[in-house]
Amino acid sequence: MEYLVASEGHLAIEARLRLTRAAAEALELRGAFHIAVPGGSVATLLFPSFAEAALDWSRVHVWWVDERVVPQSHPDSNFKAANDLWLSKVPAIAHPFHSVAEYAAQLPLRLDVALLGVGPDGHVASLFPGHEGLDVTNKRAFAVDDSPKPPPRRLTLSLPEICASNEVWVMVAGQAKAAMMAQALRPDSQLPVGRVLREAEGIARLWLDPAAAAQL
């Protein structure tokens, strides 16, 4: 695992540089770049910076690590966040998360990048601590009907699908997440973010601001 501690502004720049580099490599090797993204604070922090990246956006495919079951125009929609801050400004190919079966069938064999935010409870995507969804290993994506965080109905990639990505990028900011991250980085942690960082098959990159890293 590689990790970086820097201000939110520097993290946004680092993420844009990594995006540019990873996309260029994937486009040269495979002719397409596939990234799955979250909503929430990561969208606010990183997506305006992503919109400034100099890429061949026409060959960039954007997926979602999870989505709330709400209309795309709803303030809770992860698609809306990405579209407002980023995708409306570049000609990337967006793949909204409409249904589990359709999504699982359309996903690439392996994502180039899975970008994750982290909740104060250690959840990533819609994979929550102690929730049965963490044990789903035979599906690429599945529905959650009883999310402990509203709204209760969600669609999410499974933990194995996220961990199979060529790279997993985890962004954590804020003092409220400091104690949780100290727990997540223990070798026996069962928090979803800890498992992702530990079980990632490719490169795992952890980016924290100083407040989130205060107890490491």
**How many whole angstroms separate alpha carbon 125 and alpha carbon 128?**
8
pTM: 0.96
Task: Give pLDDT, residue 202.
Answer: 97
185-214 mean pLDDT: 97
Task: Give pLDDT, residue 22.
Answer: 98
**Token code pair at residue 16:** 């844009």
Task: Give pLDDT, residue 110.
Answer: 97
Domain locations in the chain as residue ranges: 2-208
Q: Where are the beta strands (DSSP E) in the chain?
A: 2-5, 33-37, 60-64, 66-68, 93-94, 113-117, 141-144, 154-157, 167-172, 203-208
Task: Give pLDDT, residue 74.
Answer: 95
3-23 mean pLDDT: 96
Tally of CB atoms within 10 A around 179: 13
Q: pLDDT digit string (tens) for 84-105? A: 999 999 999 999 999 999 999 9
CATH value of 2-208 in 3.40.50.10860, 3.10.20.10, 3.40.50.1360, 3.40.50.2300: 3.40.50.1360
3-state secondary structure of 135: helix
Task: Give pLDDT, residue 146.
Answer: 92
Give the phi and the psi of residue 58 in degrees, each rounded to 5: -65, -15
Q: Is 63:32 a contact under the CB 8 Å cutoff? A: no
